[in-house]
Structure 1
Amino acid sequence: MAEEAKKLAGYAAVDNHVQNNQVVGVGSGSTIVYAVDRLAERVRQEKLNIVCVPTSFQARQLILQHGLTLSDLDRHPELDVAIDGADEVDAALTLIKGGGGCLTQEKIVAGCAKHFIVIADFRWTDTCGSMTWGKEGLLGPGSAVPMAYVPVSRTIAKRFGGEAVLRMAVSKAGPVVTDNSNFILDWKFEHAQNWKEVNTAIKMIPGVVETGLFVGMAERVYFGMEDGSVRVRDPPVI
């Protein structure tokens, strides 16, 4: 049921937001697989001229496997649309991302897009926080010494409560290493926060590269529902 819901959301996003002669940011995670399937199908059937910019190694492989045109932000620094998944979405379209460990590249690509579209399934909440979320971080690109994760985790817990822990790998010994060779801290917070303020404050902690909070970035979210429908959510009118 969840996989079919992901497919519904992915297909709806691609059908409604991808047009000929566009540069498309391709997100990461299990939901995006269906979006790329549909994108490749449309490229073949409609002879579309589409250039794809990936957010991760996984996204890059998906693009190549489907025979789509691969590019990067050096050649295409401005994207027409970026499509990505989310671990959680609240009523204001604040996203929690980072379950797949690609959040920094995902946020960079989303920030370069004129339109940022999100796809998810029915397992979502109106309040961010039922899941943990990640902060990719620690040192600059290329550094192999995770010297900052202990002070960063202590600072987050002291200022905002809860607990920030180093994410450990499942199929290897040691911590998860991101596509940028950084570590991820998962913060298990105790209550809802002002996410815009928290996002800014955490990013100012020395050693943090990026947060998994995407605040004020999503233009629209497509939710694949259990009954086979697709629910659309736009940002609230202020």
Structure 2
Amino acid sequence: MSMDGIQAGKKAAAIEAVNNHIKDNYIVGIGSGTTVVSAVDRIAERVKEEKLKLVCIPTSFQAKQLIIDNNLVLGTLEQYPELDVAIDGADEVDIDLVCIKGGGGCLTQEKIIAGCARELILIADARKDVETLGTTWTKGVPIEVVGMAYKPVLLQIMKTLGGTAQLRMASKKMGPVVTDNGNFIIDWIFDKPGNWKDINTTLQLIPGVVETGLFVNMAKYAYFGQPDGSVGVKHAQG
């Protein structure tokens, strides 16, 4: 898939999701990543055209800047602890709408916002639509950890779950990637898929782990855009 095709798919998925799930007087969680840029552009268009009254809650520094730059109303979870909907991207989504998130390093705040929302809507290009996690996304499951604990957590993950775990290093600074929360990120590359709910719980119980990039039983809908602008929609069962 060409870069132009990927971008067309992202934009199509974002527009379709915003058209279907954003309504007047909604409190909206704004995710992070490249696909969300198109979603915020469409939200801003609808606010201008339809005079919608929305409050937007960001999942990251990037999301906050998108909200401000598009002249949308910025809110916080302290003001609005219950959200109508959250729209976010994903690194990969399986047949059960379990997804891996955190390639951009914002997994903890993304999961908090998703957990506060009545509906989590995922938007992505068609490459992210897979039957089994690990099919196209080969960078593993991101795990946010307290800095002092990263080494014991690395060892415990590999001892308990196998695979390989590595500290994510920054590309334009010396040392590790530091999240918006001041923590580090470990990327766990698993040997094979398993029961993601149990795996997520196992990871969360390791002392020093803040949050994982496994989103299990959270997404309500997933929109996947094709290069030709068509969009496939999946709905969570149950």
Distance 2:20 2:237 in 1: 20
1:137 counterpart residue number: 145
Hey, which of these two has a bigger chunk of helix by percent? 2
1:108-119 equivalences in 2 (<5 Å): 108-119=112-123
Q: Give aligned pairs, total.
A: 230
TM-score (norm 1): 0.95
Alignment check: 8 A CA contact 2:31 2:88 kept: yes
Question: What is the root-mean-square deviation of aligned Cα atoms in Å?
Answer: 0.8
Q: Residue 49 of structure 1: CA displacement? A: 0.3
Q: Residue 226 of structure 1: CA displacement? A: 2.6
1:217 counterpart residue number: 218
Bigger mean CA deviation after superposition, 47-56 or 221-230: 221-230
In the TM superposition, structure 1's runs of 4+ consecutive aligned residues that sit over 2 Å from their partners are none
1:24-48 per-residue CA deviation (whole Å, 9 max, x = no partner) reads 0000000000000000000000000
Q: Secondary structure at 1:117's aligned position in 2?
A: strand
Q: Secondary structure at 1:77's aligned position in 2?
A: coil
2:164 counterpart residue number: 163
Q: Secondary structure at 1:5's aligned position in 2?
A: helix
1:204 counterpart residue number: 205
Q: Residue 137 of structure 1: CA displacement? A: 1.4
Q: Residue 228 of structure 1: CA displacement? A: 2.0
Distance 1:40 1:196 in 2: 36
1:170-209 equivalences in 2 (<5 Å): 170-209=171-210
Alignment check: 8 A CA contact 2:126 2:225 kept: yes
Q: Residue 216 of structure 1: CA displacement? A: 0.1
Task: Supply the AA of the counterpart residue of 1:178.
Answer: T
2:32 counterpart residue number: 28
Task: Supply the AA of the counterpart residue of 2:144.
Answer: E
Alignment check: 8 A CA contact 2:143 2:187 kept: yes
2:60 counterpart residue number: 56
Q: Secondary structure at 2:210's aligned position in 1?
A: coil
Q: Secondary structure at 1:232's aligned position in 2?
A: strand
**What 5-or-longer segments of structure 1 have no aligned partner?**
139-145
- The question of 1:77 aligning with 2:81 is answered yes
TM-score (norm 2): 0.95
Task: Supply the AA of the counterpart residue of 1:228.
Answer: G
Distance 2:132 2:182 in 1: 31
Task: Supply the AA of the counterpart residue of 1:75.
Answer: Q
Task: Supply the AA of the counterpart residue of 2:80.
Answer: H
Distance 1:147 1:58 in 2: 26
**What 5-or-longer segments of structure 2 have no aligned partner?**
none
Q: Residue 227 of structure 1: CA displacement? A: 2.9
2:110 counterpart residue number: 106
Q: Secondary structure at 1:147's aligned position in 2?
A: helix
Distance 1:128 1:29 in 2: 19
Distance 1:35 1:3 in 2: 12
1:126 counterpart residue number: 131
Task: Supply the AA of the counterpart residue of 2:145.
Answer: G
Distance 1:126 1:57 in 2: 32
Alignment check: 8 A CA contact 2:8 2:228 kept: no
Alignment check: 8 A CA contact 2:141 2:187 kept: yes
Task: Supply the AA of the counterpart residue of 1:177.
Answer: V
Distance 1:80 1:167 in 2: 33
1:114-157 per-residue CA deviation (whole Å, 9 max, x = no partner) reads 1110001011221112421200112xxxxxxx211011011110
Q: Residue 4 of structure 1: CA displacement? A: 0.8
1:72-100 per-residue CA deviation (whole Å, 9 max, x = no partner) reads 00000000100000000000000100100
